[in-house]
Structures are given as structure tokens and as C-alpha cells.
Amino acid sequence: METKVRYHLLIVEDDQNLGSVIKDYLQDSGFNATLTDTAIKARKLMETNDFDLAILDVKLPGIDGFKLADQLRTLHPEVPIIFMTALNDPKDRVKGLKVGAHDYVTKPFEPEELKLRIRNVLRRFDIEPKANVSDKKFLKIGKFKFYPVPRLLSDGDNEINLSKREAQLIMLFYENRKRFVSREMAYRHVWNKPEDLGSRSYDVYVGKLRKYFMSDPLITIKNIHGKGYIMYF
């Protein structure tokens, strides 16, 4: 079976007609696009999927796009954000940049403009697209199959697309099964930099891995308080 490589985009837009037009256009342009209409639904999608880029409407019911961007930054700090907005106030643009936006598109806009902005952001951050599983090699972790390429975790029923750092951290734990993985080791191998004593990134990513593996009780990631973790499977 041929491996198909596509970027996975999250679109959050409460105008169903506009959202459908954007989704259809982007899918026709070769992207894999997931559309939802509220921040609450988007948050659930973020917890169970790995997106290459998020496109957020500013004016959403309930939690607005700015607050949603804050949540996205916590869950997936490496995912770039483009805001869609009908607001022309420079203060809103500044606010969006403060919460981590990487570009803006102002309504009304041509879908092609959004497509070009998406491609520019992906190119700027050198983001690699996800690939579907074909006959790729996998590693067995409990009941899970871990595919380093294309960064995917599968239990046979469900598949989770992993970010680059999630996949690197799983590989680090796999290579050090039942051995202590210190904070310093994780930052050196996964983040490619010395440990930042004030950073909680390691803990945040371990929390995400625990959620991914929670359906197999034989897989545990034990906390060595303040020092690091040990993975058993």
C-alpha cells in the first residue's frame, strides 16, 4: 500500500457554511482538515489528535479564539496558529501574537489566500507532514504498535498521530526500558538543549504519554520525584 503524506489541519469556525467551504478547499488542495465549531470540541480533538497547524476563528461562542490558543499552547506548544478574524483593531492583532499566533487572515478572504498563508507558516517552521501507516516498521510496547515513521501509535482499534517530540520521548523510553530517564537526559535527547530548571515540558509530555498508554494497565511511567521517570512495559 502506498504511503500518503498529508498535513493535518484543525479548523475552528462556528459559521458552518464558511467552515465547510474552507475545509473542502483545503482538502482539495491536499491537506487533511478537521473542522469543528466550538472551543470545547476543539479542546477534545487536541487531546486525542496531533495537528500540524491550527486555524482559529477569534469570535467563537463561549471560549473565544484567544483563550483557545492559550489552551493549544499548553497541549501542543509546537503547533503554529493562524487566526481568522473580522476584527481590524490592531490591539486584537497584538493580543493574538501574545498568545502565540503566527499569522492572521482577515474576513472576508479568498480560500487561496489562507492556503498560501498556511504553506508559508509550515515552511517557516520546517514542519514535516504526517504519513499514513503502510508497511512501516513498528516497535511493540505492551499492546501498542509504535511507528517511529510516520510517528504513530496504534492499539489496533485507535491510532494516535504523534508530534516529533512525543515520538522522540517514546523512543527514549523504549531504548531505556525499566531504566531511569533523568530530566537532563530527556532535555538533551528530545529538546536538544540543556535542562531548563524552570521548565515543566518534560512533565507535560510524560502526562500526555500516560494518557496515550492508559488503556494498557501493564504500561506504567513511574515518577522519581523531581528527577525523572522510568517506563515499564
Confidence of residue 149 (pLDDT cuts 50, 70, 90): confident
Other Cβ atoms closer than 10 A to 158: 11
Report the DSSP pairing between strands 130-131 and 139-141: unpaired
At the topology level, CATH places domain 136-232 in Arc Repressor Mutant, subunit A (1.10.10)
Cα gap 209→173, rounded to integer Å: 11
Helices and strands per DSSP (H, E), number in the chain: 8, 14
Task: Give me the chain's average pLDDT, please.
Answer: 86
Confidence of residue 110 (pLDDT cuts 50, 70, 90): very high
Strand order of the β-sheet with 152-154 is 139-141, 144-147, 152-154, 159-161
pLDDT digits (tens, 9 = 90+) for 115-124: 999 999 998 8
Write down the domain spans for the chain: 5-130, 136-232
Cα gap 140→117, rounded to integer Å: 39
The three three-digit cell numbers of residue 195, written as one number:
535542562
What number of residues does the chain have? 233
- 106 close to 86: Cβ distance less than 8 angstroms: yes
pTM over cut 0.75 = no
* Structural domain 5-130, CATH architecture: 3-Layer(aba) Sandwich (3.40)
